[in-house]
Amino acid sequence: MKSILFREIQSFFGSLIGYLVIAVFLLLNGLFLWVFQGDFNILDGSFADLNPFFTLAPWVLIFLIPAVTMRSFSDEKKQGTLELLLTKPISVWQIVSGKFFGAFLLILIALLPTLIYVYVIYDLISPPTVIDSGSIIGSYFGLLFLIAGYTAVGIFTSILTENQIVAFILAVFMCFLFYFGMEGLASQFTPYNDFIASLGMDYHFRSISRGVLDTRDIIYFLSLSILFLSLTVFKLKSLKN
């Protein structure tokens, strides 16, 4: 698995993809949070907190992560190197896990510089003790779980087609469905609205963002990620056979 992971990271930073993803993520968040006037601008808000960032980031990532994962297997299929990859002395699970963690680490690297926002918020508020540190820490953990879910979905859609654009569109649609769509569906089925809403990522992301790590939220994200990685493995094995 390590060889696949390092290969993915090397391919990301061996071209403009890795640098572009990090730059776009930081630029979009920076502009909306500190430059553009509006609901997301922290300086224009009544309270100096990071809630605007944790509201905006999932929507930026819903497009950015599929842009990273769309080439994971679709490019291998198009270039004809997937068959060669499957002949290597590693299991299908190791191949999928390597692809998954490679993309996950790239997004994690893009997320790390945003910790500077925490310092800026502390600098803006006097006294700094009024900041809800638990909520900030919980929200960052929520983003990590959300990134894992998005990445697993993106890896799965990339195995379905050799066309990267199709893989991208499918991943964006499915991530949108699981992040926001379930809440919309819940409003249409009133007797089951709580259950349907609980199937969405946003429901559990908001729960973790309160600063309390509930095992139900962790199990949800882990189950979702494992589900889509398992579907990827199943599809890859069918191609192998």
Cβ neighbour number for residue 217 with a 10 Å cutoff: 24
Task: Check whether 227 has a pLDDT greater than 80.
Answer: yes
CB 204 within 8 A of CB 178: no
Q: Where do the H-state alpha helices sit in 80-114?
A: 82-86, 92-111
Nearest to residue 141, comparing CAs of 41, 227, 218? Answer: 218
For the stretch 110-131, pLDDT in tens is 999 999 988 888 776 655 556 6
pLDDT band at 82 (very low <50, low <70, confident <90, very high): confident
What are the tokens at 25? 């993520």
Structural domain including 39 reads: 2-240
| Total domain count, the chain | 1
pLDDT band at 224 (very low <50, low <70, confident <90, very high): very high
Place of tokens 């089951």: 192
How far is it, in rounded angstroms, from Cα 233 to Cα 66?
18
pLDDT band at 182 (very low <50, low <70, confident <90, very high): confident
pLDDT band at 239 (very low <50, low <70, confident <90, very high): confident
- Give me the pLDDT at residue 192, please: 73
How far is it, in rounded angstroms, from Cα 220 to Cα 88?
33
Question: pTM score > 0.75 for this model?
Answer: yes
For the stretch 132-142, pLDDT in tens is 777 888 899 99
Axis crossing angle, helix 92-111 with helix 2-13, rounded to the nearest 10: 40
